[in-house]
Amino acid sequence: MRHDESRALYDRALSVIPGGVNSSVRATRPYPFFIERGDGAHVVDADGNRYIDYVMGYGPLLYGHDLPEPVSAAVQSHASAGPMYGAPTEIEVELAEFVARHVPSVEMTRFVNSGTEATVSAVRLARGYTGRDKIVVMQGGYHGAQESTLVEGGPESATPSSPGIPSSFAEHTIPVPFNDADAVERVFEEHGAEIAAVLTEPILANTGIVLPVDGYLDHLRDLTDDHGALLIFDEVITGFRVGGLQCAQGKFGVTPDVTTFGKIVGGGFPVGAIGGRAEILEEFTPAGDVFQSGTFSGHPVTMAAGYEYLTYAAENDVYEHVDRLGRRLREGITDIVEDQAPSYTVVGTDSMFKTIFTRGSTPAGDGDDDRTVCGGGCRQRESCARYDRCPKTGADVADAETERWERIFWQEMKDRGIFLTANQFESQFVSYAHTDEDIEETLEAYKEAL
């Protein structure tokens, strides 16, 4: 496989773009391949190499790279009508109505331009609504490039995880281990009256895919209710991916006060959204006093793409297809690693999947049962033979062989024409454009690379 063009482009990029990329995860080793175009479930790079793509834009591309006809028609018509105005349009209302119809927690939605902007605004909203400053987040959780959540350490020792963030931001953020009911309970015992919100992904989806153990999300719901704090689900990645149109909150049966969205809800265009009960959302200006605004917010092209994207999913067997192929992949990989690489865990649910190179794990006992459990999506059931080895926290994933993934496994898969997310932490996705043949080809590659 030749990469001369990509190498030359990267060389140029390094002179004018920091690190040669506009989002840090794209900087694969030794250099990224530059993509020329997408084609269904495939991407073609600048040297003409073709890959089956499971990165899918890091989440937004539910249909792969070909937009369903109604989506591309709506995008073109809104772009040619003049892309944006600085005045409201009908399509914003239609998308907000759609989200309210399908997502349990949502009565109202404010649209913004990225997942980061959504979580920033949601935190401000929670603080404004409750009159409190502290937020509880999960270690290993990800809420975009925002000052309040880029923290590391434990409940008593949070510090910013990036230079450039004053430590006073971290003073208001309390990181706890995901799936640890006692830890978050202790935090509420101590700081209950100061906590504005618990902000969590319902599934840790940017750190290897960690599913909630039974009852954990319910526990967060009860705790926040008892202490007058808000529960915010960051569904930027799980929204309209896990649990279909009802999102992960519908799948797990836990309704948060506020939900953040991004990725799929923009149909492949830049987007974010904050949804929730009217009484809370109306704290946003101009209905209320919590400042929120944006030149491009509710951009008509994005709104049209998002609306048609989700409408198409409502009217076709989209989730059935992607979830079935997701299960086939997880089951197939589970079979392969069972024999060849017992130091692994296959994780994921619905159309998300990942293989975690767990350190020091032992081969599974009862193969059949495990295979079914991993294939259907990890349920973190105590009765499962794998239960102890399924990651429960962000730290469990960080403890895996992350170097092995980046330096060897990812490269081996790329050389076999399979484009996976470039590190141990980011999820991978099946799209509506993937076929059974793609899955078979992918499993062959896993067989050789593992």
Ligand X SMILES: *Cc1c(COP(=O)(O)O)cnc(C)c1O
Residues involved in catalysis: 142, 234, 263
CB closer to ligand X, 230 vs 439: 230
Which residues here bind ligand X, judged by CB under 6 A? 114-116, 119, 142-144, 201, 205-206, 234, 236-237, 262, 272
Cα angle vertex 173, ends 134, 137, to 5°?
Answer: 100
Alpha-carbon 141 to chain mean position: 10
Contact criterion met (CB below 8 Å) for 418 and 439:
no
Least distance CB 197 / ligand X (angstroms): 15
Least distance CB 304 / ligand X (angstroms): 19
Give CA–CA dist 289/278, Å, rounded: 14
Least distance CB 270 / ligand X (angstroms): 7
* Total number of residues shown for the chain: 450
Least distance CB 393 / ligand X (angstroms): 16
Least distance CB 260 / ligand X (angstroms): 7
Give CA–CA dist 98/309, Å, rounded: 11
As separate numbers, helices (DSSP H) first and strands (DSSP E) second, the chain gives: 16, 16
Least distance CB 115 / ligand X (angstroms): 2
Radius of gyration of the chain (CA): 21
Contact criterion met (CB below 8 Å) for 274 and 260:
yes
- Single-letter amino acid code for the residue at 27: A
CB closer to ligand X, 33 vs 142: 142
The half-sphere exposure of 263 on its side-chain side, counting CA atoms within 13 A, is 26
Give CA–CA dist 60/41, Å, rounded: 13
Strand partners for 16: none
CB closer to ligand X, 132 vs 143: 143
Q: Which residue is nearest to ligand X (CB)?
A: 115
Tokens 């599934």 -> residue: 203
- Which secondary structure element, helix H or strand E, spans residue 428, and what is its range? strand 428-429
Contact criterion met (CB below 8 Å) for 240 and 319:
no
Give CA–CA dist 179/284, Å, rounded: 31
Least distance CB 167 / ligand X (angstroms): 23
Q: Name the nearest CA neighbour of 240 among 163, 304, 322.
A: 322
Give CA–CA dist 177/155, Å, rounded: 9
DSSP string, 387-427: GGGS--SHHHHHTS-HHIIIIIIHHHHHHTTEE--SSSSS-
